[in-house]
C-alpha cells in the first residue's frame, strides 16, 4: 500500500523537486499537498536540522500523517556563514528571492574571486507520528558568481556555481541539478531511510 506523506512546504518549486528526486529513487509514497488550514510553522531554530524537524513535527501532528520537511539555505564564507538559516528572509520578507539574491550580491560586491566560496546546505526530516523521527543533510560546495545567470532554478541558484562547474545551478537542467544539489543529496539519503523502513 502506498504511504501518504505530507510535504511541509507551500513552495511549488520545492514540491516538484522533491517529487522528482523521491520518485527517481523508487520510494513508494504519495506526496499529499499541504492542507490550506495547516499551520505556518515559524523557523525559530538556529540550525537547518532543527528547523526541518520543527516543521515536520508540527505538520505530522496537525494532519496525523507522516510528514517530510526541509530547511535549506546558502552559507557564504565571506559573510561568516550567513545568510544560513535566514536565507529565505535575508532581505527582510520571507520568500522574496530577487531581493535576497540582490542583497547577497551587494554584500559580496567587493569580494574577489578567490574569496567567494559558499555552500548550499539542506537538512531533510521525516516524522511518522508516534513512531519515528529522522533527519539527514546534504551539502553542495561552490562559489558565487558576480551576477545572476540562468532561469532553471529558484532562490540563490542563479548566482551559485558548484565546485568543478562553470555554470550556475540555474543554468543546469533539472536532472543535472538534482544529481549534485544539496536537496538532491539530502532527499536521496532520506529516500534510502524511508525505503528501509
Q: What is the set of active-site residues?
A: 71
139 SS3 class: strand
Distances (CA, A) of 6 to 44, 63, 84: 21, 8, 25
180 SS3 class: helix
Among 142, 143, 159, residue whose Cα is nearest residue 151: 159
d(CA 54, CA 166): 36
C-alpha cell at 17: 523537486
How many residues make up the chain in this entry?
A: 197
Among 21, 137, 132, residue whose Cα is nearest residue 67: 132
d(CA 167, CA 176): 11
Amino acid at each position: 500500500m502506498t504511504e501518504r506523506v505530507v510535504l511541509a512546504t507551500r513552495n511549488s518549486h520545492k514540491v516538484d523537486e522533491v517529487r522528482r528526486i523521491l520518485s527517481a529513487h523508487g520510494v513508494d509514497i504519495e506526496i499529499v499537498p499541504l492542507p490550506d488550514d495547516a499551520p505556518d510553522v515559524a523557523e525559530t531554530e538556529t540550525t537547518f536540522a532543527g528547523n526541518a524537524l520543527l516543521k515536520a513535527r508540527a505538520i505530522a501532528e496537525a494532519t496525523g500523517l507522516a510528514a517530510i520537511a526541509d530547511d535549506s539555505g546558502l552559507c557564504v564564507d565571506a559573510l561568516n556563514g550567513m545568510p544560513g538559516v535566514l536565507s529565505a528572509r535575508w532581505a527582510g520578507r520571507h520568500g522574496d528571492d530577487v531581493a535576497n539574491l540582490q542583497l547577497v550580491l551587494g554584500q559580496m560586491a567587493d569580494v574577489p574571486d578567490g574569496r567567494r566560496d559558499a555552500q548550499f546546505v539542506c537538512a531533510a526530516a521525516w516524522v511518522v507520528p508516534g513512531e519515528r523521527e529522522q533527519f539527514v543533510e546534504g551539502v553542495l560546495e561552490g562559489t558565487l558568481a558576480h551576477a545572476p545567470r540562468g532561469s532553471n532554478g529558484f532562490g540563490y541558484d542563479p548566482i551559485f556555481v558548484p565546485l568543478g562547474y562553470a555554470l550556475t545551478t540555474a543554468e543546469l537542467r533539472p536532472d543535472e541539478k538534482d544529481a549534485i544539489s544539496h536537496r538532491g543529496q539530502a532527499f536521496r539519503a532520506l529516500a534510502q531511510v524511508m525505503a528501509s523502513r
